[in-house]
């Protein structure tokens, strides 16, 4: 249990049996009366947001959250199999749940899986991955205009915007948080 004085931005709490994360926090002490803790929160399962105000005497539940290091193993139909780094226990996570993240899964990459009551509610991938460009228009030699991009496709069909000097066969670093090009990886 938390007390209202423990509230802060980033804290994960439980309301009506669901996990919420505090996205914004404000402490207000009016001239008369008790202090107020105003919170903006986001539901960690549905993504819904709400505002809630707490008084100092209120108690707030801790959610049953567990973060596990898991390796991405392989695709299995509409599911992706992750294996616990310590116990090798396998967990299947659906394609719908992962969404865009499926394009950035690389076999044996270490991921952080957040569980609520034993169910996966979030998967954090490595921040950057390296992928080869399999299709893009050739860049014009000597064209060094800044911030000019073109579409490029990686091996799994995902399309990103890359600078015009990137060619088919180049390996690029992709930021998995945004799905955007980060930099070209130099050839060894």
What tens digit of pLDDT does each residue of 76-125 get? 999 999 999 899 899 999 999 899 999 999 999 999 999 998 889 999 99
Instruction: Answer yes or no: do 170 and 142 share one domain.
Output: yes
Q: How many domains does the chain have?
A: 3
Same domain, 135 and 108: no
Q: Is the pLDDT confidence value at 129 over 90?
A: yes
Instruction: Check whether residue 35 and residue 52 sit in a common domain.
Output: yes
Query: Does residue 172 sit in the same domain as residue 159?
Result: yes
* Structure token digits, residue 125: 């991938």
Q: 119 and 150 share a domain?
A: no
Rg (C-alpha) for the chain, rounded Å, is 22
pLDDT at position 138 over 90: no
Here the CATH number for the domain that contains residue 140 is 2.40.50.140
Q: Which of the listed residues 85, 100, 124 is the one where a domain comes to its end?
A: 124
Q: Which domain holds residue 53?
A: 2-60
Residues 175 and 132 occupy one common structural domain: yes
Residue among 109, 128, 117 nearest 171 (CA): 128
Give the model's pLDDT for residue 142: 58
For the segment 59-76, what is each residue's pLDDT rounded down to a tens digit? Answer: 999 999 999 999 999 999
């Amino acid at each position: 249990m938390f007390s209202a004085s423990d509230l802060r931005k980033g804290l994960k709490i439980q309301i009506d049996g669901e996990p919420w994360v505090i996205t914004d926090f404000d402490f207000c002490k009016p001239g008369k009366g008790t202090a107020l803790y105003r919170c903006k929160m986001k539901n960690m399962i549905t993504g819904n947001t709400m505002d809630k105000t707490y008084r100092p005497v209120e108690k707030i539940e801790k959610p049953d959250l567990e973060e596990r290091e898991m390796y991405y193993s392989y695709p299995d139909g509409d599911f992706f199999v992750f294996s616990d780094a310590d116990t090798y226990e396998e967990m299947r996570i659906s394609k719908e749940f992962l969404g865009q993240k499926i394009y950035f899964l690389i076999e044996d990459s270490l991921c952080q899986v957040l569980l609520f009551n034993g169910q996966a509610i979030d998967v954090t991938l490595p921040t950057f991955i390296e992928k080869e460009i399999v299709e893009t228009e050739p860049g014009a030699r000597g064209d060094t205009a800044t911030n000019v991009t073109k579409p490029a496709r990686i091996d799994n069909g995902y399309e990103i915007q890359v600078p015009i000097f990137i060619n088919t066969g180049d390996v690029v670093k992709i930021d998995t948080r945004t799905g955007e090009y980060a930099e070209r990886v130099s050839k060894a």
